Amino acid sequence: MSTANAAKEAVGAAYQLELMKHAQRMTWDAVTRIAQGVHPGMRESQARQLAEQVLTELGMQRIWHPTHIRFGANTLKTFKQRSDGDPQLGEHDIFFIDMGVVWQGHEGDAGATFTTGADPQMIACAAAARTLFGEVQAHWRNQGVTGVELYDFAAARAQAMGWTLNLDIKGHRVSDFPHAIYRAGDLGDFAGQPNAGLWILEIQIAHPELPYGAFHEDLLA
């Protein structure tokens, strides 16, 4: 690996892979608990309040990026975009949760998509994000590809599956807090082979015709 790429995978003195995996597990526990409490009739703002309550109950150390919970058409929004309004979740709807939390000095980051009711296309969209994530992660594990090649593969697989991959969302670094001092850039622009426990793989897809999408992210480990 080049010196420049090695610098993008630098970590602090406190970094431990096992603590990264612990942060991953705790963040997924929070995502699951929040999703169980989200219901039709709830507004996005109320879901965010629920998230704060769950994280407090779980004993989080701190938030390292704002919690995003998107309903309906807002599932097409990227991380940096604001939601439109404060929509109410419908009986047959789609939503995702995206959170970044520090546990024992290490950054957890997880996101997943869920549905209410029985809309088959929404259910398929949520499932497709999970499936595509799994395929891309397996490609990373089995082929030793670069970050750039990983997202080339993701885009091709999304198209083959009938979905549109949002390439404005291409993953990012994590580590012991704060990872931002390393200025590593996006996983999808990383010219090296990403190592375990340092990168978040993000998958955001859009329905080819209808105004919603799905999101899934997790630690490459």
Does the structure show a pLDDT above 80 at 1? Answer: no
Mean pLDDT on 179-198: 93
Q: What is each CA distance from 147 to 140, 164, 172, 193, in whole angstroms?
A: 9, 19, 10, 6
Pairwise CA distance, residues 71 & 44, whole Å = 7
Pairwise CA distance, residues 20 & 28, whole Å = 12
Phi and psi at 78, nearest 5°, equal -85, 175
pLDDT at res. 3? 82
pLDDT at res. 92? 98
Task: Domain count for the chain, please give it.
Answer: 1
**154-183 confidence digits (pLDDT tens):** 999 999 999 999 999 999 999 999 988 888
Q: How far is CA 38 from the centre of its chain?
A: 18
Q: CB within 8 A of 41, min separation 6: which ones? A: 88, 89
Pairwise CA distance, residues 182 & 168, whole Å = 21
Could you tell me the CATH number of the domain that includes residue 98? Answer: 3.90.230.10
| CA-derived radius of gyration, the chain | 17
Q: CB within 8 A of 122, min separation 6: which ones? A: 92, 93, 94, 115, 212
Pairwise CA distance, residues 70 & 155, whole Å = 23
Q: Percent of the chain having pLDDT more than 70?
A: 100
Q: What are 70's two structure tokens? A: 């998107």
Pairwise CA distance, residues 187 & 169, whole Å = 9
Q: What are 84's two structure tokens? A: 């439109």
Mean pLDDT on 104-120: 98
Pairwise CA distance, residues 196 & 219, whole Å = 8
Tell me the whole-structure pTM to 2 decimals. 0.96
Task: Please check whether residue 165 is in contact with residue 159, taking contact to mean a CB–CB distance below 8 angstroms.
Answer: yes
Domain span including residue 135: 3-219
**56-105 confidence digits (pLDDT tens):** 999 999 999 999 999 999 999 999 899 999 999 999 999 999 999 999 99
